[in-house]
Chain A
Amino acid sequence: DIHMTQSPSTLSASVGDRVTITCRASQSISDWLAWYQQKPGKAPNLLIYKTSNLKSGVPSRFSGSGSGTEFTLTISSLQPDDLATYYCQQYSAYPRTFGQGTKVEVK
């Protein structure tokens, strides 16, 4: 199985800060990576697919990059609405696997 590791597990940042979340795969997944945002008490929502493709309607302050085994999700200017847990997911192989999540708190 491909293991996905996110860091940090929790981060606290101020409104307007640039925030970066890292996701590492235990083996190469090319660019078969998605990012999801899950707000408290809600279902996950897709933010980015195939590493860097922003889903329609997602604010442009979100961006993704990487390839192979190392990937990043960046929020260019953190907003109060971005309070959520963020998950990466690989779809290079079965079983599909998720990172453990990164909880973003807004100071």
Chain B
Amino acid sequence: EEQLVESGGGLVQPGGSLRLSCAASGFTFRRFAMTWVRQAPGRGLQWVSTITDTGGSTYYADSVKGRFTVSRDNSENTVYLQVNSLRDEDTALYYCAKGSGWHDPWGQGTLVTVSS
């Protein structure tokens, strides 16, 4: 069974940083792009970032470009999202998902709360 498990979220002050992780199992991780999508409380889905299978290419939403960095470790079957210079509007549940086009499966999400 394909599974994704996120971790690393928490409460952080504005301007702070976190590193989110997503551990994958049940599929050949190194063959697939991976994506981060977030959902603010009570809001819809917002694509954040995608990294290709080798990590050679990365893509970001304009709202996070320059502040967030996606990376992966294919030996550990894990994708990361380093989130820096956090703002109130970054408060959301952050999901990782398999694929660069359609996304399947999704993890259960890790909550990032930005508040002073």
Contacts and interface: CB of A to CB of B under 8 A. Distances in A.
Q: Do A and B come from one complex?
A: yes
Interface of A: 32, 34, 36, 38, 43-46, 49-50, 55, 87, 89, 91, 94-101
Contact of B45 (A49, A91, A95, A98): A98
Contact of B106 (A43, A91, A96): A43
Interface of B: 35, 37, 44-47, 50, 59-62, 95, 100-109
A23 to B, nearest CB: 13
B95 A91 contact: no
Given A43-B95, A89-B102, A95 B44 contact: no
A8 B100 CA distance: 27
B50 A89 contact: no
A49 B44 contact: no
Say what secondary structure dominates the interface of chain A.
loop
Nearest to A42: B108
Contact of B100 (A43, A91, A99): A91
B102 A44 contact: no
Contacts, number: 57
A44 B45 contact: yes
A43 B103 CA distance: 12
B36 to A, nearest CB: 11
Nearest to A87: B45
Nearest to B4: A43
Contact of B101 (A38, A49, A99): A49
Given A34-B102, A91-B101, 7 more contacts: A34-B101, A43-B106, A45-B106, A49-B104, A89-B103, A94-B50, A96-B50
B59 A95 contact: yes
A1 B45 CA distance: 16
B50 to A, nearest CB: 7
Nearest to A100: B44
Contacts of B105: 45-46
B71 to A, nearest CB: 18
B59 A94 contact: yes
Nearest to B45: A98
Given A43-B108, A43-B109, A45-B106, A98 B101 contact: no
